[in-house]
Amino acid sequence: MSEPRILTEQRGHVLLIGLNRPEKRNAADFELLTGLAEAYGQLERDPELRVGLVYAVGDHFTGGLDLADIGPRIGADGISFVSDTGVDPWAVSGQQRTKPVVIAVQGTCLTFGIELILASDVAVAARSTRFGQIEVARGILPFGGATIRFPRAAGWGNAMRYILTGDLFDAEEAYRIGLVQEVVDDGAQFDAALSIAERIAAQAPLAVQAALANAFTAVREGDAVAEAGLQPALARLAASEDARIGLQAFLSRTPAEFVGR
């Protein structure tokens, strides 16, 4: 019996989500995409889970899409791989996630891997990682959000430089243009990303989700809509049990143990 394409493990309040097709450089076939969407759905539904950490088994994060498997599935309306219990990890369709996602990449990180980074919140890369948005070299366009988010993250010229040429670039360039937030020695990327995920998970989860939601609103609906939601969100959070815990921790100079209520 073959191993699952996606591994999941709860570590405290963090859900580890592992791409597990190392013999194919974690190329994303339909089964992997479906499993990834289900893992995001698990993160969304479980109240004990506060943060997701996406990583990859093996030497490479991903060689991109497995077009031999994905290509024949692209119909007149594109391709759908998210079930009723899943959440689109690219965040371009259906239910949107409400919890943060951190991502750790290494080796080769092509196409769908860059789009996972762009759809996450914090990314850590191993120093030798090589990136490429190479869809135009395969006769298709990026359809997981790169055309939308890459220019926003890196600036128009930086994004078009790589989207339109398909050229590869290294981790230092990814850091320079804002695609990743930290570059670490090879082999250290998972621990560095986990440290960030655990720091996020230690904060008040309702406050983290509210901050993330307001930032999403600003990007998707504009600053004015996000600004209008700030004071109502603050009022709701101020009445929470976590706000009381946070105040008590401040007054007593002790660490807060938030409960998510």
Which residues are part of the catalytic machinery? 115, 135
How far apart (Å, rounded) are the C-alpha atoms in residues 82 and 109? 22
- The sign of the torsion formed by the CA atoms of 48, 52, 53, 58 equals positive
Q: What are the beta bridge partners of residue 17?
A: 8, 54
Angle formed at CA 118 by CA 112 and CA 123, multiple of 5 degrees = 100
Helix (H, G, I), strand (E, B) or coil at 177: coil
Q: How far is CA 202 from the centre of its chain?
A: 19
Given a contact cutoff of 8 angstroms between Cβ atoms, the answer to whether 236 and 48 are in contact is: no
Q: What are the beta bridge partners of residue 104?
A: 124
